[in-house]
Amino acid sequence: MSEPIPVIPESAPFTPEQRAWLNGFLAGLFSRGTVAATPAQQAAAAIPLSILFGSQTGNAEALAKRAANEARKLGFAPAVHDLATYTADQLPSERRVLVIASTYGDGDPPDNAKPFWERIRNGTAPTIADLQYAVLALGDSSYPKFCAFGKAVDERLEAMGGKRAHPRLDCDVDFDTPFASWIVTALQALAGESPITNHQSPALAPQPPAKFGRSNPFPAPLIANRKLNAPGSSKDTRHLAFSLEGSGLEYEVGDALAVRPCNCPELVGELIAALGCSVNDALNGMSVHHALLHDYEITRVPAAIVKAAGERCGNDALRQLSGAELNKFVHGMDVLDFIRRYPQAKFSAADVALLKKLPPRLYSISSSPKAHPGEVHLCVGIVRTEFGGRPRKGVCSTFLADRVPMDASVPVFVHHNKNFRPPGDPSTPMIMVGPGTGIAPFRAFLEERRAIGAKGRNWLFFGDQHATTDFLYHDEIDAMLSEGTLARLDTAFSRDQAEKIYVQQRMLEHARELFAWLEEGAHFYVCGDASRMAKDVDRALHQVVESAGGRTAEQAAEYIRQLSASKRYQRDVY
Ligand SMILES: Cc1cc2nc3c(=O)[nH]c(=O)nc-3n(C[C@H](O)[C@H](O)[C@H](O)COP(=O)(O)OP(=O)(O)OC[C@H]3O[C@@H](n4cnc5c(N)ncnc54)[C@H](O)[C@@H]3O)c2cc1C
Ligand SMILES: NC(=O)c1ccc[n+]([C@@H]2O[C@H](COP(=O)([O-])OP(=O)(O)OC[C@H]3O[C@@H](n4cnc5c(N)ncnc54)[C@H](OP(=O)(O)O)[C@@H]3O)[C@@H](O)[C@H]2O)c1
Ligand SMILES: Cc1cc2nc3c(=O)[nH]c(=O)nc-3n(C[C@H](O)[C@H](O)[C@H](O)COP(=O)(O)O)c2cc1C
């Protein structure tokens, strides 16, 4: 006989929502206790499962942990491994592996997965004839090499002799829902089972009471919006501060803040007119106006819209566009441009569902909670350009700079990044390279070190266009220099002379000293532009180790691989 399921009475001191949640929770708990494990689950109980994650900013890592929870519910004994510390030589002794990995740069691995990838990519990789695996690739379809690293790992494991137990899933930025259904079928496949019927899907599981986070962002009041560039600058970089009072949100220096922006209302208005609908027309239980303002990315043209236009206009060339060609074709266009260009496709309110969800934007936190309790600060470069004769605005950066009044609330949550932290030992030296908005986390690191009285020496490389107008946080940096928080500052103002000077040139000019700091155990950090700066700084670091360390190119590469592996070379690049 099963026990009766307890019910929280109405007289109990809970709100109706709390009572409903608790009753749901108890029902789930008790019913699960009474369901006998299927034979397949019992078999799976003995099966170890390794879940490997390759992650730069924590998404893949968070999904790896969720995957482990799901696996545990199915009776697996999962072990989650960071690819930074997992060696490919462990693979032959595994039987079941789940890989969750994001993609960076030009289809490259995230930093933590680089040594693993170097080991498996060539012919000397171990053979894994007894391994069953499944890969979840994370990416962003606005990059030409969508999910390229996950795809490469999937193919490579097969080439090494592994058996793909379940087809790979390539997730776009909106990965929560696809992940939730894929993980269940992938685990079933790894367990070698027919579908498990009594598995409680994540969507049906009782949800804990609302805590602020990714699925329930905190409405944080904007308490500062200050331009950091002086008049005459060609740039608009803002210092923004939010209050986190009462949110329960906590962050550490090195974390990022995720912001859920709204689209520009004027652009939404123009789009509604071009779609020939009215603001009150309904879509999925809300007005089209609300959906376009809050939920959908309208500044980029997704593949689904291009395909729909191709089909409706009988335009095969358009219908067949894909990959790099598609990206090139839509580059610079927003949805308004596109539907104006193809009036024959007769796009309407119902087609809004073809757009991609508007993802939150991440910003490196520029404050230490020890220096600013109850607050979080950001340093944001405002994106304003022009295309086809119309001004274009970065969705989130202009939302923050122009459209949020002081004291109004902005939905935010903390995106933890344990791969970007100051040294654990406060006496360890730090070298920080942060041109432009790349200064953000280093302001936080320095504030933190000042607050705890850390004795380690700190060296900052900063650069931007002009010293007079673009020296971000100049006063604060000067104060840190004079009080000794900063032991060294080297600046590169790129446009103050005929020839461009960048931070990496300063690194090379001070190669001997920089190498000496590394030899003393300094950690080396880079933040800012990923497409050019971070690659050039990486190249300069190799040159520093070669020239000042007297190493060959291969030895320098190995030296830097070791720095990364020991978490002494960390990057926060975008
Ligand atoms: C971990 C992390 C940390 C970050 N930290 C910071 C930080 O500290 N400070 C900061 O300023 N930023 C930071 N960023 C970048 C930030 O998240 C945003 O990407 C940035 O603010 C631009 O967002 P937006 O919504 O304003 O612009 P978007 O609307 O997303 O546009 C951004 C860019 O995309 C391109 N683009 C837009 N529309 C099109 C189109 N139709 N066709 C082709 N290209 C297009 C343009 O080049 C444009 O400049 C960080 C990013 C990450 C991942
Ligand atoms: N797509 C673009 O064309 C473009 C342009 C600007 C910014 N952005 C993006 O906007 C965001 C914020 O920009 P930001 O204001 O933080 O700074 P930023 O544009 O990265 O500029 C900061 C400083 O870095 C210099 N710089 C340019 N290329 C470099 C390189 N290869 N190596 C080292 N330094 C280099 C810049 O010089 P110069 O500007 O004088 O070359 C400037 O002095 C970043 O994500 C960046 O990628 C994109
Ligand atoms: C600088 C940068 C480069 C990126 N490059 C790619 C890319 O080439 N291909 C892709 O599919 N996604 C790319 N992405 C998107 C990430 O893979 C995606 O945001 C993923 O969810 C990040 O997961 P993580 O937090 O585990 O690293 C890039 C993101 C950033 C910030």
Whether the CB of 381 sits within 6 Å of ligand 1? yes
pLDDT tens digit string along 374-401? Answer: 999 999 999 999 999 999 999 999 999 9
From the list 141, 120, 129, the residue with the least C-alpha distance to 95 is 129
For residue 5, the model assigns a pLDDT of 56
With a 6 A CB cut-off, is 571 part of the ligand 1 pocket?
Answer: no
How high is the pLDDT of residue 12? Answer: 58
Q: Which ligand places an atom closest to the C-alpha of 106?
A: 3
**Ligand 1 atom showing the smallest separation from residue 334 Cα:** 41
> Are the C-beta atoms of 421 and 253 separated by less than 8 Å?
yes
Ligand 3 atom nearest residue 55's Cα: 26
Helices (H), 135-209: 148-159, 176-190
pLDDT at 193: 60
pLDDT at 30: 47
Closest atom, ligand 2, to C-alpha of 465: 43
Report pLDDT for 6: 58
For residue 476 the two structure tokens come to: 């604060």
Ligand 2 is surrounded, with C-beta below 6 A, by 235, 237, 381, 435-438, 463-465, 494-495, 500, 502-504, 528-529, 531-533, 536, 574
- Measure 16 CA to ligand 3 centroid, in angstroms: 41
Look at residue 235 in the predicted model and tell me its pLDDT. 98
What residue owns the CA closest to ligand 2's atom 10?
381
The tokens for 334 are: 């927003």
* Atom of ligand 3 minimally distant from the CA of 100: 26
Q: Which two tokens stand for residue 105?
A: 């740069």
Residues of the chain with pLDDT under 50: 1-3, 25, 28-36, 43-44, 194-204, 206-207
pLDDT digits (tens, 9 = 90+) for 405-442: 999 999 999 999 999 999 999 999 999 999 999 999 99
Residues in the chain, overall count: 574
Torsions phi, psi of 159, nearest 5? -65, -25
**In angstroms, rounded to a whole number, what is the distance separating the alpha carbons of residues 61 and 314?**
44
Whether the CB of 57 sits within 6 Å of ligand 1: yes
- Of 234, 464, 529, the residue with max ligand 2 atoms within 8 A of its CB, to mutate for a pocket test, comes to 529
Is 58 a pocket residue for ligand 3 (Cβ < 6 Å)?
Answer: yes
215: helix, strand or coil: coil
Instruction: Extract the tokens encoding 542.
Output: 């190799």
